A and B are shown apart, each in its own frame.
Chain A
Amino acid sequence: MNNKSYFFQEILAKNPVLVGTIGLCPVVAICTTLKAAVIMSAITLVTLVVAQLITSLLLRYLPQWVRLGLYTLVGMIVVVPAMLLVDRFSPETMLALGIYLPLLAVNPLVVRNCEREAIDSTLGQSIFTSFSAGLGYSAVLIAVGIIREIIGSGEIWGYKVPLVKPAEAFRMPMGGFIVIAFLAAALRVYFRKIDPEFADELIENSRTNIKGSNKAKLALRGAKYADGSSAAPKQPKQKKVKQKKQKPAKPQKAPATRTAEPAPVPASVTAQKEKPAFEVMTLEEAEELRSANLPPVETTVQAELAPPTAEDPIIVQPEVPASQKTSRFEFVTLDLSSTAKDREDAERFAAAVAATKEKQPQRQIRNKRGQERQARPVSKETKEGDDV
């Protein structure tokens, strides 16, 4: 993909209105004519670039709460001269735009763009992104202006369009919403032709956006967001605690009473167990987990080491739901030392394991000697000695 088509794709794929649902007020309220749309586009584009420039050079060094307050003043710096120009050259347009023109000073598109791009990017990058965002916004404004002027007034730039009966409704916000709905759908049709995967992603992102689930949004692949931006999410960093991988189920040598009398699990742990599986837990949660009465390590080890025999009772474990299979509280159910009988069993198993461990080194030494003997060159003396 060459630079030209990349820029074009950037304008469409990250479109603030059709993908990001931002800056809708001017689109649905004022863009009823092509002339108004062109004026609004020019002002928005200049505001975006100037705000980005000022943010990159000055505002990025200020705290966020101060910065957010100053964007309105930055917007005003651009909008006031623009209003003077429009008032001078086209007073009737100034009247038609009414109070919507001054409201461009608080365009959320400016704030969003500056906060996402100007703070972390270089000056050149931020200017490029603001320019592409502004062009994307302007394209939608002009398209909406043309369609609404034709359908709503039966004209285009003041000239009558034949065979069109004007529908007043299209000059109201209702018409604006209908037009951008069709434009958003058309954008998806276009992307479905050139990149079906991205079209699906767009649909999935917008559906997730509607659900409002941040967790689901974060789970979406890549850095694409509902608004199509690729900026890194500014979220509080959580310290990750690696979760113990679940081992495949092994046959346990344990009496039936162990499964019949499960260990009493603390109420807090039981409550959390009902939650869906977690992959990440905070340090506080880890501490809480540690403070819960967990089984002694030996007990767990012996349950795994004990080989099954034919006499062992077959224990049918209840089927674990898929959502709980990766739960971090899973090993709490292996607590085998809750009752006195269980503890006795546990001690017996521990003794058996200790005995096995003691035997192991001797076996290893024996095996080692055997290997050495085989590797040694066979001499007469040794052969004789061995025979002895």
Chain B
Amino acid sequence: MKLVAAFFAAFVYVCFTQNLVLTGGYGASEVIRSAARPKQIILFSIMIAYFSTVTSLICRVVLFIPAIKNSSTIISLAVYSGILTAVYFVSVLILKVLLGKSDWSDIEIEKFFRQTAVSAFNTIVLAIPFITERATYGVHEAIAQGLGAGVAFLLATALVHLGMRKLEENTEAPINFRGTPALFMYIAILCLAFSGIMGKSLFF
């Protein structure tokens, strides 16, 4: 029961209380880019959840090796990057076999692999093992962190997408603020809201 409670606590913490995108800034550019393509939001979030969960789990298991556990951040970076790259290549090879039998054209497969790479090599995905290590999370919490990263990404992307649609309708914004600057301001307000949930002091 304790494990389940810890799992959900870690999950909720990553998703809502400490939304990695809006309070940590991880994967901010990917959020903006995927929010502009609403059809791909779900798929992209699932991919991020998959890569962050699998990488986080393997990295947590690797941390049972004392030599790696006691190593510096530099060694951790090498190990985690290596694991992430290996997860990517294994996943792509499996997908290649599966998609080879499907009706997808070569162009569609190539496009899908591009998206896979963007979702795999992302600051939000690589940050999860580091956070797990620093917070001394267990295996179940590492899985919750990975899944939570995907949901946090989905939440942030949905919020940004809704804001984009509203900003697009707004014709009263100063001309030089239309588009990207207005969007940055909107994300700043979202960040402010999530920082408020965390209870951070904002001024002075």
Contact = CB atoms under 8 A, between A and B. Distances in A.
A and B bind = yes
B155 interface: no
Contacts of B191: 172-174, 177
A143 to B, nearest CB: 14
Interface stretch (A19-27, A269-277, A324-332): A19-27
A165 interface: yes
Interface string B113-151: 110111011110111001100100000000000000000
Contacts, number: 196
Nearest to B188: A177
A168 B174 CA distance: 28
A105 B77 contact: yes
Contact of B127 (A69, A75, A103, A202): A103
Interface stretch (A35-43, A77-85, A370-378): A77-85
B38 A212 contact: yes
B28 A25 contact: yes
Interface stretch (A54-62, A179-187, A355-363): A179-187
Contacts of A107: 123
A64 B113 CA distance: 9
Contacts of B175: 203
Interface string B172-201: 001111111111110111011001000011
A32 B7 CA distance: 33
B123 A106 contact: yes
B36 A210 contact: yes
A181 B123 contact: no
A95 B169 CA distance: 44
A182 B26 CA distance: 21
A79 B77 CA distance: 9
Q: What is the predominant secondary structure among interface residues of chain B facing chain A? A: helix
Interface residues of A, number: 64
Nearest to B202: A169
Interface string B80-123: 11101100110010000000000000010010011011101111
Nearest to A169: B202
B164 A184 contact: no
Interface in A245-280: none
Contacts of B167: 210
A128 B35 CA distance: 31
Contact of B73 (A76, A99, A165, A210): A99
A23 B195 CA distance: 22
A295 interface: no
14 contacts: A21-B32, A68-B113, A83-B74, A84-B74, A106-B121, A111-B117, A168-B204, A169-B192, A174-B192, A182-B181, A205-B179, A209-B179, A212-B35, A212-B164
Given A106-B122, A178-B185, A205-B179, 8 more contacts: A29-B26, A68-B114, A72-B84, A107-B123, A165-B204, A167-B204, A206-B178, A206-B180
